[in-house]
Amino acid sequence: MTITSQTSGSSKGQKLEVRSPLNGELLATLPIHTADDVNAAVQRSRRAFEVWGALSYKERRTHLLDYRRELVRRMDEIVDIVHRENGKTRADAAQELLLVLNHLTHAANRAESLLKSRSVSSGLLANYRSRVSYHPFGVIGVIGPWNYPLHTPMGSISYALAAGNAVVFKPSELTPLSGKILVECAQAAIPIPDLMQLVTGYGDVGAALARSKVDKIAFTGSAPTGRKVMAEAAQNLTPILLELGGKGPAIVAADADLDRAATSIVFGSFMNAGQACISTERALVVDTVYDAFVAKVVERVRVLKTGADEHAHYGAMTLDRQVERVREHVTEALENGARAVVGGLDSIKGRFIEPIVLVDVSPKLKVMCEETFGPVLPIAKVASVEEAVRIANDSNFGLGSSVFTKSGGEKLAEQVHTGMTSVNAVAAYAAIPGLPFGGIGESGFGRIHGDEGMLEFVRVKAIAYERFPLPGFGMAFGDPPKVLAQVRQTIKALYGGSAIDDVTNVLRKLVGG
Ligand code: NAD
């Protein structure tokens, strides 16, 4: 028996049919793994970890660059799979692959210098040498979404592998072929069987992975699923990082370069048909430039084309549920005072939604508060940048954002409560591998990418080594009255108001050294 990838459910013994959102074509049939299969995969990966984790950083770097080479070798095939399975344009798919290669390279090159053991000051215990070292966790369970089926999981996998871990990867049931080819390339390039494995199926397979004996879970998906994954992981107290949804605001100040703002915001809203966690999901524009900004947006959006052909700017909605969500948000907005200046409800005919721009949208409507995840740009007029910041921050989400101004852009960026902000641009932080990627609130916690992202995939070990005993300051019992006197004297000397902060000198005086 088979069930299609456009439905949800569970499934022992059943097969996962992968169908293209472009035309319904059956692309492949894959297994639906059981919880036992998942547990066995984790066990096999643990053996692979023993080999991979024992390699030097240089050796791992060489293997990861071989992995990169294999991905490049199969570039056209990868782009084709992502295009047909997800429905995005080939150009979008190729951009995704470029970002993956960028992250893989950065992670491979950065791991050794970031994760080498480092000394820290021993403070009061000046007779100690103190060191922090980093060790891979072991096996990381990665659960991915369908909207960026390459870039999103590889934002975790690249850093997890570079830090010395093995990976068991559960891609979305909608895009398992993209996951499969990522794993095939790793297996072809790195001669350690089971270092990166694939498990396929629906949410219950992800749940089994979160409940398994993996050492950490890196989950990317929606906030409601994130809650469930966290509950599963809690059973074994497995640490978890959550990359969830967003409602990215773009703030346009009165002094913004309006051409730049309009060009960037249109891209931020319509890239990948708006199906991005860091999409520009709402624009908040100061009243003095509102009309001029809207005119520039309309001019740019009118020329956008959706479709499956090579000239399309963006592709299909990956699933029917998304089409319905877009219809619901646009309908509610139009019934509550918003006006469509490009497109409208007629634009929503099937999987290919023509671009929609809504103006005069009240900030309380769904299209301004909930993740729409479609090719819709709602624009609201605000009296000031301060009001824009207040509306931007009045959200359960806090993932990506952007601000457009010619003065004090970085200061303004700091005021927006999101994990990441681009100034005079959109989404740029996602393409800069040194920057940590992640959100606050219902957008999740933990980071991927950058140093912070790599540190998510290591255990931190603290080592305090006593080089020589220091009378009265050892971790041993002494004569209690004497200890009390000595500690009181130390407290006064160190923290009793004197400006002395050279702990070593104070200790030397106290012990007569
Ligand atoms: P989703 O939450 O429906 O599914 C994500 C993954 O979780 C899938 O592989 C699914 O099979 C699995 N899953 C479902 N139920 C599960 C359970 N109970 N236990 C474990 N795994 C389970 O999300 P989606 O629709 O695939 O992706 C779209 C969402 O992802 C949007 O909200 C988007 O904003 C978000 N997203 C976030 C980021 C980010 O980096 N923050 C990136 C891309 C997408």
| Domains within the chain, CATH numbers bracketed | 10-244+451-460 (3.40.605.10), 248-432 (3.40.309.10), 477-508 (no CATH)
Q: Let me know: does 153 contact 169? Beta carbons within 8 Å.
A: yes
Residue whose Cα lies nearest atom 42 of ligand 1: it is: 277
Of the candidates 85, 96, 243, 281, the residue annotated as catalytic is 243
* CB half-sphere exposure, 42, CA atoms < 13 A: 25
pLDDT, residue 506, reads 59
| Confidence at residue 510, expressed as pLDDT on a 0 to 100 scale | 58
Ligand 1 within 6 A of CB of 441: no
**Residues 6+ away with beta carbon under 8 Å from 505:** none
Ligand 1: which residue has its CA nearest to atom 21? 206
Does the C-beta of 179 come closer than 6 Å to ligand 1? Answer: no
Tell me, using a 6 A CB cutoff, whether residue 147 lines ligand 1: yes
Q: How far is the CA of 221 from the centre of ligand 1 (A)?
A: 2
pLDDT for res 1: 32
Listed as ranges, residues in the chain with pLDDT below 70 are 1-13, 472-474, 498-513
Residue nearest to atom 30 of ligand 1 (CA): 221
Task: Name the nearest CA neighbour of 29 among 44, 15, 48.
Answer: 15
In three-state secondary structure terms, 65 is helix
Answer yes or no: is the C-beta of 293 below 6 A from any ligand 1 atom: no
Residues contacting residue 464 through CB under 8 Å, at least 6 positions apart: 122, 125, 128, 129, 130
Decide: 136 in ligand 1 pocket, CB within 6 A: no
Beta bridge partners of 166: 139
Ligand 1 within 6 A of 199 CB?
no
Residue 111's pLDDT is what? Answer: 98
Strand partners, 282: 249
Q: Is 277 in the active site?
A: yes
Q: Give which of 376, 371, 315, 374 is closest to 344, Cα–Cα.
A: 376
For residue 225, report the distance from its CA to the centre of ligand 1, in Å. 6
Contacts of 91 (CB under 8 A, 6+ apart): 310
Catalytic residue, candidates 277, 281, 371, 456: 277
- Cβ(363)–Cβ(394) below 8 Å: yes
Strands of 272-345 (E only): list them: 282-286, 339-342
Query: In b/e form, how buried is each residue of 392-402, taking b as 16+ CB within 10 angstroms?
Result: beebebbbbbb
pLDDT at 377: 98
